[in-house]
Amino acid sequence: MTTATRPARSPNEPLVPFAELVAEGARAGAPAWLATFRRGSAERFTAVGLPTSKDEDWRFTPVQGLARENLGVVRRPAPVAPEALKPFLLGSERGALVVVIDGRFEASLSHLPVLPTGARIMSLAAAITEGIPEVEAHLGRYATPDVTPFAALNGAVFADGLFLHLAAGIAIELPIQVLHVSTGAVPVVAPRSLLLVGRGASVTVVESFASVGGTTGFTNGVTEIVLGRNARCEHLRVQREGAEAWHIGLTEVSQERDSHYRSFTLALGAKLSRHDLRARLGAENVETLLYGLYLGRNEQLHDNHTAIFHDQPHCNSWEVYKGVLTDRSHAVFNGKVIVQPVAQKTDAKQTNRNLLLSETARVDTKPQLEIFADDVKCTHGATVGKMDEQQRYYLKTRGIAGRVAEGVLIWAFTAEVLAEVTDPGIRETLEKLVRAELETMIG
């Protein structure tokens, strides 16, 4: 009696891990529109599989190791105590707190204060079950399965996440904290957030990603943000998962006329992290501000890919990303600004700066401008280097030398982007996080 074996995988055949999860997601009972989206996502991921070094957008980010990673089997997660969450909270605890455990909204750990009429913060799964029409109208319309293979994977397997809807004119004064916690209980944590900010509404949302238990895990999150006319949104994204974690994230932003989107991202954790941030300026007089900071040590890899689509005239975008790297860590930055022919009077600036603290740290940076209009002001630039010896000498002549001088210079380098966080309490907490990490890096 012979045992059948699967033929060896062809070199041209896509590597498709998590096949059972994807198939299960495609079969999951759901409204017809969501079932169609899930099936399309599953088919897309099955067709393309994990990116390889031959994919231009992924050639510096080796994610094929996910297929070999022992991520464990699905098990019942141990209860997460409220005390375990406190180290991951940012700023004031007076605002709304949404806790998502292993991709599922956890009401018992969340705190949702009384909200104005026209504001909703709730489980995405509950919003789908209730048949809220805005969910069907927007979910998956921006972070489509063809944006990245991991967007397709999330679309096939996500179970829950956050739904936020602010009707016209609603202003939420205190930040809304969304804490995504991975426990290692499931092989793929795939939260999905849908944030709809209506005409003239405003909100600050802080998404934090953390892990408990020190287990290896894979987080694959997607956030879709839709800003109505004259809406304002400040969106902070803080990633500090465990040292053995994999983290892939996608944020898609759609902006209508006169809207303002302000983003700050901080990457500290995971052994490999990647965040794609894409903003589409779909009407006139839109402003988009992107700020980022990443700190790498040991053999961490931090990858930031951004894309700003100037689809209409009279829009402004400003982007500043900075990185500090030591040991054998590796950073990747790829920033695209695409200006369509109709997008006259565009004003776009993009900067990426990197500070290397060791001989073995590495940065691959690629700022890009694709300009098809002729009446624009667009600039971009990137730098990679060590600490300025003249600055070091200047401090030494004033009695500041050695590690103290290094700390002063490195902090000054990072403080520029941290200063762009507008909420004082959150900014203070982030500054403490960054100072602590820099102390570890400097030694």
The token pair that represents 395 in the structure block: 């401090």
Q: What's the CA gap between 102 and 188, in Å, rounded?
A: 8
**Whether this model's pTM surpasses 0.85:** yes
Q: How many CB atoms lie within 10 A of CB 372?
A: 12
Residue-level pLDDT at 433 = 96
Q: What's the CA gap between 217 and 247, in Å, rounded?
A: 8
- Pure H helices in 82-186: 82-85, 124-130, 133-138, 149-157
How long is the chain? Answer: 443
**Listed residue (367, 387, 377, 389) closest to 321, CA to CA:** 367
Residue-level pLDDT at 1 = 42
> Amino acid identity of 375?
D
- Pure H helices in 15-116: 19-27, 32-48, 82-85
Cβ burial, residue 272 (10 Å; 0-12/13-18/19+): buried
Residue-level pLDDT at 2 = 46
Q: Residue 176 forms beta bridges with which residues?
A: 205
Q: What's the CA gap between 37 and 139, in Å, rounded?
A: 9
Residue-level pLDDT at 6 = 47
Q: What is the pLDDT along the chain (443 residues), one digit of tens a residue?
A: 444 454 556 667 789 888 888 988 888 878 999 999 999 999 999 999 999 999 999 999 999 999 887 665 555 666 899 999 999 999 877 789 999 999 999 999 999 988 999 999 999 999 999 999 999 999 999 999 999 999 999 999 999 999 999 999 999 999 999 999 999 888 889 999 999 999 999 999 999 999 987 667 899 999 999 999 999 999 999 999 999 999 999 999 999 999 999 999 999 999 999 999 999 999 999 999 999 999 999 999 999 999 999 999 999 999 999 999 999 999 999 999 999 999 999 999 999 999 999 999 999 999 999 999 999 999 999 999 988 777 776 667 777 777 787 888 999 999 999 999 999 999 999 999 999 999 999 87
Chain centroid to CA 144: how far?
Answer: 16
Domains in the chain: boundaries: 24-283, 389-443
